[in-house]
Copies of this chain bind each other. A is one copy, B any other.
Amino acid sequence: MSKVITSRELDYSKWYNDIVVEADMADHSAVRGCMVIKPHGYAIWEKMQQALDKMFKDTGHVNAYFPLFIPKSLFEAEEKNAEGFAKECAVVTHYRLKTDPNNPGKLIVDPEAKLEEELVVRPTSEAIIWNTYKGWIESYRDLPLLINQWANVVRWEMRTRLFLRTAEFLWQEGHTAHATKEEALEETKRMLDVYANFAENWMAMPVIKGVKTASERFAGADDTYCIEALMQDGKALQAGTSHFLGQNFAKAFDVKFATKEGKREHVWATSWGVSTRLMGALIMSHSDNNGLVIPPRLAPTQVVMVPIYKGEDGLKKVSEVAHALKEKLQAKNISVKYDDRDSQRPGWKFAEYELKGIPVRIAIGERDLANGTVEIARRDLLSKEIIKLEYVDTYVAKLLEDIQSNLYNKALERTKCMTYKVDTYADFKKTLDEKPGFILAHWDGTAETEEKIKEETKATIRCIPLNNEQENGLCIYSGKHSTQRVLFARAY
């Protein structure tokens, strides 16, 4: 059975879903809104984790693990945060099941095992972490506290989509504590840079760094910085956020430290996170109608080798060459899989690895061997070349770099082409409908205008770009004075 991917042009949303499911990235589960991350998808997520984890550690952070559950009384301590997440909290109320007396073999919740205080399944961990930090921070010597956590979180979303919006998702959340506002702000921006670096250099996905408007801020933050990427369909995707939390959580949980001068002051905080949502961003940045396209730096398997042969003798001859080549490639730190299964034909394998986005495919045929060559196909351009066996390892090493930068440049070019400067509200609406993408437009800086535009067009202010060009203009909606353009888009 060959797997068919709906074409992007026909139905973008179905195209996306087909790739996720058919390329073995993820699957729907029996639990409403929760996904199963399948082995191929999880292997890519592991590559993402490794790269990010190294970047976190290189910037001085350590990992730890905090409880899945947050007692309701802690959860509500920072009011804005609590209010922001209350509507999507899964709540544990009981700690035991028992056999249904009316229906043996079935279980019911044991009413006698009701918790005295309900437990919230963490939608984010500020509350439980700051309650813990209270016991860890005494003096300036304990600061900065630079901790990251890899965890699952739950947000009860009503409309879910694989990877992009699921009730449970995997993420990392950094939570840091600092002696001064300046240090905390510096950390907030440092981690935004880490995310931008990861997005561009690993995911090959260009991003715009910026700061959110007040109404788009993380609940409980004084400022939310973000990276925004543009998907192939012209919709924006928030790919990572880094929050300056001020002293909000320190005050809510009464976390003070003794300064060098012996005074007691509230600590300053940041938090920052990226999630399995990035998997959705990766898919929508590079994939095509043939399936997934993985940037080489995140590919669990960078090269697949497929033998083409007749009979056992043929396979033996080809395999000898293949094993030697595999070793040469591995010596260059390239991850290689040799697929010599006899249960599937080469054509089936070609289609399968194309669908799964493996960057490079090497076909080794008996006939090629006579010429001392192999056929090398690159997934991004779907083009092939015949290469002398002796040069294959250097050729492939170079090719993987080429594919990585080609994917980035293509996405960058697309983002540039799909970014429009617009000066009137009529043009704004027309552009949104006819040429979806990023729109740079003047805004009067008020929440009212922002809300009206959102209501009327479904476009939101993605961010106020960092180092934004200052330019006088008139708000597209109110006509009031404005000093800079902000980034609008419809978004995931």
Q: List residues of chain A with CB under 8 Å of any chain B CB.
A: 27, 29-31, 34-39, 42-43, 45-46, 62-72, 74-76, 79, 82-83, 86-99, 105-107, 109, 118-121, 128, 131-132, 135, 141, 147, 151-152, 154, 156, 168, 170, 343
List chain B residues, Cβ under 8 A from A68: 34, 121, 152, 154, 168
Scoring A66, A90, A168 by chain B CB atoms within 10 A of each residue's CB, the highest score goes to A90
* A107 engages B90 (CB within 8 Å): no
Q: How far is the CA of A96 from the CA of B157 in the complex (A)?
A: 10
Query: Could you tell me the distance in whole angstroms from the C-beta of A145 to the nearest C-beta in chain B?
Result: 9
Q: How far is the CA of A389 from the CA of B241 in the complex (A)?
A: 48
Q: How far is the CA of A360 from the CA of B364 in the complex (A)?
A: 51
List chain B residues, Cβ under 8 A from A97: 72, 75, 82, 86-87, 89, 91, 120
18 A-B pairs whose Cβ atoms sit less than 8 Å apart in the complex: A34-B68, A36-B66, A37-B64, A39-B63, A68-B154, A69-B90, A76-B106, A76-B107, A82-B97, A82-B107, A86-B97, A89-B95, A91-B94, A91-B109, A92-B93, A93-B94, A97-B120, A109-B118
* A64 engages B87 (CB within 8 Å): no
List chain B residues, Cβ under 8 A from A96: 86-89, 91, 156
Question: Helix, strand, loop or mixed for chain A's interface?
Answer: mixed
List chain B residues, Cβ under 8 A from A89: 95-97
* B43 engages A63 (CB within 8 Å): yes
List chain B residues, Cβ under 8 A from A43: 62-63
Instruction: Take A29-B132, A88-B95 as given contacts and tell me if A147 and B72 are in contact as well, using a CB distance cutoff of 8 Å.
Output: no
Q: Which residue of B lies closest to A83 (CB)?
A: B99
Query: Could you tell me the distance in whole angstroms from the C-beta of A335 to the nearest C-beta in chain B?
Result: 12
Q: How far is the CA of A39 from the CA of B120 in the complex (A)?
A: 24
Instruction: Take A46-B63, A107-B82 as given contacts and tell me if A90 and B87 are in contact as well, using a CB distance cutoff of 8 Å.
Output: no
Q: Which residue of B lies closest to A75 (CB)?
A: B107
* B91 engages A64 (CB within 8 Å): no
Q: Which residue of B lies closest to A76 (CB)?
A: B107
* B343 engages A74 (CB within 8 Å): no
> Which of B36, B93, B120, B343 sits near A64, CB closer than 8 Å?
B36
**Copies in the assembly, this chain:** 2
List chain B residues, Cβ under 8 A from A31: 67, 69-71, 119, 128
Q: How far is the CA of A147 from the CA of B43 in the complex (A)?
A: 12
* B98 engages A67 (CB within 8 Å): no
Instruction: Take A76-B107, A86-B98 as given contacts and tell me if A42 and B62 are in contact as well, using a CB distance cutoff of 8 Å.
Output: yes
Scoring A35, A68, A106 by chain B CB atoms within 10 A of each residue's CB, the highest score goes to A68
Q: Which residue of B lies closest to A140 (CB)?
A: B343
* A107 engages B64 (CB within 8 Å): no
* A67 engages B29 (CB within 8 Å): yes
Instruction: Take A70-B31, A168-B69 as given contacts and tell me if A86 and B109 are in contact as well, using a CB distance cutoff of 8 Å.
Output: no
Instruction: Take A76-B106, A87-B97, A132-B29 as given contacts and tell me if A65 and B37 are in contact as well, using a CB distance cutoff of 8 Å.
Output: yes
Q: How far is the CA of A54 from the CA of B45 in the complex (A)?
A: 16
List chain B residues, Cβ under 8 A from A105: 76, 79
Query: Could you tell me the distance in whole angstroms from the C-beta of A100 to the nearest C-beta in chain B?
Result: 9
Q: How far is the CA of A91 from the CA of B119 in the complex (A)?
A: 10
List chain B residues, Cβ under 8 A from A63: 39, 42-43, 46
Q: How far is the CA of A66 from the CA of B343 in the complex (A)?
A: 29
